[in-house]
Amino acid sequence: MQRAFNTFEIPQDVRPEQIDVQENGVRVQWSDASHDSFYPWDFIETYIQSDRRTPEPRRIEYFGSNGSGNSTSWPPSVSSKDLEDNETRTVAQLTDFIKRFGLVFVTGVPFETGEATKKLLEKIAFIRQTHYGGFYDFIPDLAMADTAYTNLALGAHTDTTYFTDPAGLQAFHLLSHADPTAKDGEGTLGGKSLLVDGFYAASLLRKESPRAYKILTTHKLSWHASGNEGITITPDTSYPVLESKSNGQGLRRVRWNNDDRGVVPFTERSPMEWYEAAREWHSILTRKDLEYWVQLTPGNLLIFDNWRVLHGRSAFTGVRRMCGGYINRDDFVSRWRNTNFPREEILKRVVG
């Protein structure tokens, strides 16, 4: 054990003043005299051998137009009553559904105002502030300079592609939908919500067109939000449509919104190659067997993973009142960890 410790690199700017090798580890007094440190033997051995943390469990189930083929009950849901009765247990289930399927519904949410929805989302983590505000509660408003605030149909897309760190979770709760000018028997008012599993779509693209997949994972684009006066937001660097994990094991994030996309670069390869790959990607996203359509109703809150699930809607008439918000990815994952796993197991993953 002592030989292993002697190979352990010490930072050059601060040197150990005194090293005490003990049976269960090593205690170090540092030259800056600010503190002592203790390193257990298993910690030292881990970092000498590989410097790798325990991998995070990755249990992903794809969904399509008929839901998930591996799930006995679809869609995944929890009740707001269960959240009130046992918050920790229900949040554990809720966040695990999102990690597994990419989405979850919360049933029985009061809808007279948006306050109950806001409090429910805050049980996961704090609501993220953007240039549109924090918790949103809105009806169509063209002054917002965003198609989300219209009654137009929207194709499948992810939100906040123009942020370096796009919103991790997004939530929608339809509080009301009415058209005072419509006559009885004229049919539905429209506004069905569209959800597409971006990870599933990417897996099909990789299988059917490896060249297109490679282009969309390597060709980096600019993204921006500049439709509002005084707002010009862009990420810290260019990002591809499909972002792989740093270790190359699986997909990390989907970033897809034509309304936010900048000019396709002329460097690295011809822009025509990117457009050809994008057309193949679009053709997969719009396959009927990948489009999961659901009519949102008052009382049923939808929460989904904005890094994985693309969303859209059909056009609608009348006035819809919608509320919801964004939650940061890191805060969501932290809540998932701390409600589903013991503290010791979590620290092995994030510290070592």
pLDDT tens profile 7-24: 445 455 656 677 888 888
Read off the tokens for 71.
């799930």
The residues, any chain, with a CB within 8 Å of residue 328's CB and separated by 6 or more, are 125, 126, 128, 165, 167, 168
Cα separation values, 121 from 79, 134, 158, 340, Å: 13, 12, 19, 18
Read off the tokens for 282.
């679009």
Q: How confident is the model at residue 6 (pLDDT cuts 50, 70, 90)?
A: very low
Q: Identify the CA nearest to 217 among candidates 266, 259, 268.
A: 268
Measured CA to CA, the distance from residue 70 to residue 196 in angstroms comes to 17
Measured CA to CA, the distance from residue 195 to residue 62 in angstroms comes to 12
Is the pLDDT assigned to residue 248 strictly greater than 90? no
Is the pLDDT assigned to residue 1 strictly greater than 90? no
**338 class by beta-carbon count within 10 Å (0-12 exposed, 13-18 middle, 19+ buried):** middle
| Mean pLDDT for the stretch of residues 224-243 | 90
Measured CA to CA, the distance from residue 147 to residue 152 in angstroms comes to 7
Q: Global pTM?
A: 0.85
CA atoms within 13 A on the CB side of 322: 22
Question: Virtual CA dihedral for 291, 292, 295, 301, nearest 10 degrees?
Answer: -130
pLDDT given for residue 101 in this prediction: 96
In sequence order, the β-bridge partners of residue 321 are 176
Of residues 172 and 25, more confidently modeled: 172
pLDDT tens figures, 188-225:
688 999 999 999 999 999 999 999 999 999 999 999 98
Question: Virtual CA dihedral for 239, 245, 251, 253, nearest 10 degrees?
Answer: -40
| Mean pLDDT for the stretch of residues 293-297 | 96
pLDDT given for residue 245 in this prediction: 84
CA atoms within 13 A on the CB side of 276: 11
Quote the percentage of the chain above a pLDDT of 70. Answer: 86
Q: How confident is the model at residue 4 (pLDDT cuts 50, 70, 90)?
A: very low
Looking at the structure, give the CATH architecture of the domain made up of residues 77-340: 4-Layer Sandwich (3.60)
Q: How confident is the model at residue 5 (pLDDT cuts 50, 70, 90)?
A: very low
Is the pLDDT assigned to residue 184 strictly greater than 60? no
Of residues 270 and 302, more confidently modeled: 302
Q: Where are the domains of the chain?
A: 2-52, 77-340
Q: Angle between the 198-208 and 271-285 helix axes, to the nearest 10 degrees?
A: 120
